Amino acid sequence: MKALILSGGKGTRLRPLTYTGAKQLVPVANKPILWYGIESIVSAGITEIGIIISPETGEEVQKLTGEGDRFGAKITYILQEEPAGLAHAVKIAQPFLGDSPFVMYLGDNLIQNDLTPFLNHFQDKQLDALILLRPVENPSAFGVAKVDQTGRVLELVEKPAVPPSNLALVGIYYFSPEVHQAIARIKPSERGELEITDAISNLLDHKNPVEAQILEGWWLDTGKKDDLLSANQILLDSELQTAIFGELDRDSQVVGRVKIGQGTQLINCSVRGPVIIGENCHLENCFIGPYSSIADGVTLKDVDLEHSVILQETRIEGIQQRIVDSLIGRRAQLGTGRPRPKALRFMVGDDCHIELA
């Protein structure tokens, strides 16, 4: 069994942040989104992993993620020149996949569930495809499946105007090698892409065994700012354990579950968890409220922050009004010359310099 993780695409819904970096590397609870998928795959016993990368961000993904040693896996990187569809990604990965069954995992997805029970069902039933589904309020925004009471898939439609159900396809699929033949039989859609839903529909047309299972735990597609902040909140709630490695002066206090990395210094700060603060940060005269993640090398002075994600080496000074619901990119600089009357919300890309006057 192998795995194929998709870490290409342009990340248009997270711009301006993804103009300068891969959306799958944006950290959630101070860990790249992509790494959660790798860890989940490895925990299911799959250690041969191919990662689809793009020309724009592939080098960054390879540099940060490495060859897989840290995960106990072997990673092969596969370049997709253009984002021509999920089925196209499988097509160009065929030399890596060979005749092996595989799990395909969209690299910007996060799920609560263990992958192992789904893998066991796929193998025990000798299926050619197993898809995971989740009820959603806006099925028209997703690929949608219609299934019978036994879990047999009856119909798949990509972003339908009139959905046949409220069951959206989660970005995790299990396939046998038969999917390669199905992809060879389909043609690009109206948007010029080889759709994985068309490939699965082709398997259905040829009477291949295709089933679905309902995902009971949470599922997060982190392609938008608010979704990413929600993922950060859920992971801080469910996984964060208190660990204080940095230094706090006598005027600083920490309440609740808080993790503070080595080399980080807090001076006259109040931190109310769940909060994670990375290594080599400097915080002075700050309040850090719940559901905040602060990456390595960040400097915050005279800042009131809550429910936000701050990326590496950012510097924020003198904004005493509360910053909420914000995503601020790497090496950004924010400052103000005078007090502001309202809470502030930001989505700031890498290397920006913003001054509120």
Average pLDDT rounded to a whole number, residues 39-54: 97
Report the pLDDT value the prediction gives residue 158, as an integer from 0 to 100: 81
Average pLDDT rounded to a whole number, residues 118-137: 95
More confident position, 6 or 23: 6
- Which of 41-50, 190-199, 326-335: highest mean pLDDT? 41-50
In this predicted structure, the answer to whether residue 339 has a pLDDT above a threshold of 80 is: no
Average pLDDT rounded to a whole number, residues 22-39: 91
Name all domains of the chain by residue range, CATH numbers in brackets: 2-235 (3.90.550.10), 242-356 (2.160.10.10)
Report the pLDDT value the prediction gives residue 356, as an integer from 0 to 100: 57
Bridge pairing between strands 309-310 and 292-294: parallel
Report the pLDDT value the prediction gives residue 357, as an integer from 0 to 100: 46
Average pLDDT rounded to a whole number, residues 11-29: 65
Tell me the average pLDDT of the chain: 89
User: 220-252, pLDDT tens digit by residue?
Assistant: 877 778 888 999 999 999 899 999 999 999 999
User: By the 8 A CB rule, do 29 and 310 touch?
Assistant: no
More confident position, 116 or 150: 116
User: 196-222, pLDDT tens digit by residue?
Assistant: 999 999 999 999 999 999 988 888 877
In this predicted structure, the answer to whether residue 15 has a pLDDT above a threshold of 50 is: no
User: 296-324, pLDDT tens digit by residue?
Assistant: 999 999 999 999 999 999 999 988 678 89
In this predicted structure, the answer to whether residue 12 has a pLDDT above a threshold of 50 is: no
Report the pLDDT value the prediction gives residue 157, as an integer from 0 to 100: 85
What is the distance between the alpha carbons of residues 128 and 130, in angstroms, rounded to a whole number?
7
User: 47-96, pLDDT tens digit by residue?
Assistant: 999 999 999 889 999 999 999 999 999 999 999 998 899 999 999 999 99
Report the pLDDT value the prediction gives residue 318, as an integer from 0 to 100: 85
